[in-house]
Amino acid sequence: MTKYIFVTGGVLSSLGKGITAASVGTLLKHSGFDVGMLKIDPYINVDPGTMSPLEHGEVFVTKDGAETDLDIGNYERFLDASFLKSANFTTGQVYSSVIERERSGGYLGQTIQVIPHIVGEIVNRIKKAGEGHDILVVELGGTVGDIEGLPFMEAIRQMKHDEEVEGTFFIHVTLIPYIKAAGEMKSKPTQHSVQELRRIGITPQMIIARSENALPKTFKKKLAMSCDVHPDSVIEALDAATIYDIPVTFLRQNILKSISKELELGELNPDMEEWDTLVKKIVQPKHKTVVGFVGKYLELKEAYKSLTESLIHCGAHLDARVEIEWVDSEEIEEKGAEALLADCDSVLVAGGFGSRGIEGKIQAIEYARVNRVPYLGICLGMQLTLVEYARNILGLEGANSVEFDEETPHPMVYLIDNFLDQNGGAQLRTHESPMGGTLRLGEYPCDTKDGSLIQKAYNGAKTIHERHRHRYEANPAYRAQLEKAGMIVTGESNGLIETVEIEGHPWFLGVQFHPEFTSRLQTPNASILAFVEASLNAE
């Protein structure tokens, strides 16, 4: 049987509930438990796959090919584990499955209602995510009081009394504002949000208070009293130098004491030594390198969350600060690559969709190739290396990806109309296919070529596994021509081109997959690690 920890948010959003949930999960995992994680998103979208990264941040892809909320990425990076589709669901998914069952006669004439049917479906999904784990940490998106959140609140309330549930623990994450003019910290918003929770029937057993300043003891006491929790169960969450320091700061406040008491977990002594060493290297590294990060969603860095985090992981393992020089690809089009990238030790072109900034990215690739600067191109960043090579080395005028020019005379990157998906099933893709549901998603194996950078990066592994999220593929019709001219295919998956390198270049790698999705603090991704190493060693 599984025990459940529910994490709700109060006062306002963006309090770092995801990191809080991940930190609690991490401490329990390091205490020896099998910990599962679940993020519930109250929005109506079936998944975040078609949501703008500008609005919602990155879409994180799980091993089994689900497009999920970026918090799942936080969970994987903290717990050093792969979570599956079942680790994230939305209101849209809940309603779809209930309606589908109703249409197929699954309710035998009943009137379908929020209570019990929608709430029942939510409870079932939470329990399913908990199966096989000692503890499931459930993060409920949104803020207490949101209309969309109500059925979920009701579901977790009901689970307190569920016979199949071994124990529940409720954590409420809130904000303690500081009013400068009065020189005071304010507990009222937290009190109100706890009252709102209690009105729904949930009494939180722990308050995690985000605050700019440390909470004085007397304030903690007052907060405990007014929120009806034990003073030991008021945990402060101050702004940290790195998010990876948060589990350790929680541990110092003895966060596990009341969790363990309520859930009867016994005495807990999480081993955080290795973790702590890595955190120290993030905060005070010996070396430094500058990566020119070429992208288009620079207004919202959350769109590249996994990638920027992976650079931090690699830095921690190499004792280096990886400084990111954000370079807007459209600005390259105006000012030229040299002007914007000359101070960088290496160049990284990230993935993306749509034609904005494409030519600037191609110029950045040309700059890295010609000047022998270490280069990593991810997904679109690989596809465009083929286009650049075709135009500038093979002399194929107008070469492009059909994503940007359907009529290109040289479709270096094209749309294959069928491929085998992860489960070996045939998938059909055309220009008319619906946007959601036509991507190559999730983990695929990739066979590496002997002597290649990619094989070396993965310690000589002949087959590696990485995750994908893209619609287009490198066109094998140009492979022989490219290879003859020095651009070598060094990774393949069932005939699909997965990685390319350039002969004689010190470090140039394009990968069709997204290596950032498998990078964790404790086990950084191998291709990104090798790239950062090359960046550190660059003159």
Which amino acid is present at 435?
Answer: M
CB closest to ligand GLN, residue no? 351
Nearer CB in complex with ligand GLN: 326/404: 404
Q: How far is the CB of 463 from ligand GLN (least distance, A)?
A: 22
DSSP symbols for 404-416 = T-TT-SSEEEE--
Instruction: Evaluate whether 82 touches 59 at the Cβ level (below 8 Å).
Output: no
The residues near 480 (Cβ < 8 Å, ≥ 6 apart) are none
CB of 61 to ligand GLN, least distance (A): 9
8 Å CB contact between 482 and 394: yes
Nearest approach in angstroms of CB 94 to ligand GLN is: 28
Residue type, position 185, single letter: M
- Cβ closer to ligand GLN: 273 or 432? 432
Length of the chain: 539
Closer Cβ to ligand GLN, 219 or 304, answer by number: 304
Whole-number minimum distance, CB 78 to ligand GLN, in Å?
24
CA distance 401 to 406: 8
| C-alpha pair distances (Å), 130 with each of 39, 41, 76 | 12, 17, 16
- Cα–Cα distance for residue pair 384/361, rounded to 1 Å: 8
Least distance (Å) from ligand GLN to the CB of residue 294?
13
Return the biggest CA–CA distance within the chain: 75
Catalytic residue among 58, 121, 514, 533: 514
Nearer to ligand GLN, 337 or 387 (CB): 387
Sign of the torsion formed by the C-alpha atoms of 419, 423, 426 and 432: negative
**Which CB, 470 or 520, lies closer to ligand GLN?**
470
Among residues 67, 262, 366, 516, which one is catalytic?
516
Which residues partner with 500 through β-bridges?
A: 489, 510
> In terms of CB distance, is 85 or 470 closer to ligand GLN?
470
Residues 413/402, Cβ–Cβ less than 8 Å: yes
3-state secondary structure of 219: helix
Nearer to ligand GLN, 33 or 326 (CB): 326
Compute the distance between CA of residue 62 and CA of residue 290 in angstroms, rounded to an integer: 29
Task: Determine contact, residues 411/400, Cβ cutoff 8 Å.
Answer: yes
The residue among 305, 282, 468 whose CA lies nearest residue 378 is: 468
CB of 518 to ligand GLN, least distance (A): 15
Return the SS3 of 50. helix
> What's the closest the beta carbon of residue 220 comes to ligand GLN, in angstroms?
46
Q: How far apart are CA 290 and CA 270, in angstroms?
A: 35
Token pair 């090919």 in the structure block, residue: 65
Instruction: Scan for tokens 């940290």, then name that residue.
Output: 240
| Residue with Cβ nearer ligand GLN (353 or 419) | 353
How far, in Å, CA of 344 to CA of 506, rounded? 16
Q: Which residues pair with 468 in a beta bridge?
A: 442
| Under 8 Å between Cβ of 274 and 309 | no
Closest of 41, 8, 4, 2 to residue 203, by C-alpha: 8
Helix-then-strand count for the chain, H and E:
19, 25
Nearer to ligand GLN by C-beta: 28 or 350? Answer: 350
Residue 168 CA to residue 152 CA, distance in Å, equals 15
| Strand order across the beta sheet in which 411-414 lies | 400-401, 411-414, 473-474
Residue numbers of the site for ligand GLN (CB under 6 A)? 351-353, 379-380, 403, 469-472
Question: Least Å distance between CB 295 and ligand GLN?
Answer: 10
Q: Measured from the CB of residue 471, what is the shortest distance to ligand GLN in angstroms?
A: 4
Find the distance separating the first CA and the last CA of the chain, reported in whole Å: 56
Catalytic residue among 67, 379, 466, 505: 379
CB of 475 to ligand GLN, least distance (A): 12
Q: How far is CA 529 from the centre of its chain?
A: 18
- Catalytic-residue membership of 514: yes
Closest CA to 169 of 177, 159, 178: 159
Q: Which is nearer to ligand GLN, 352 or 374 (CB)?
A: 352
Taking the complex as a whole, the smallest distance from the CB of residue 400 to ligand GLN amounts, in Å, to 12
Name which of 376 and 536 has its Cβ closer to ligand GLN.
376
Cite the active site residues.
379, 514, 516
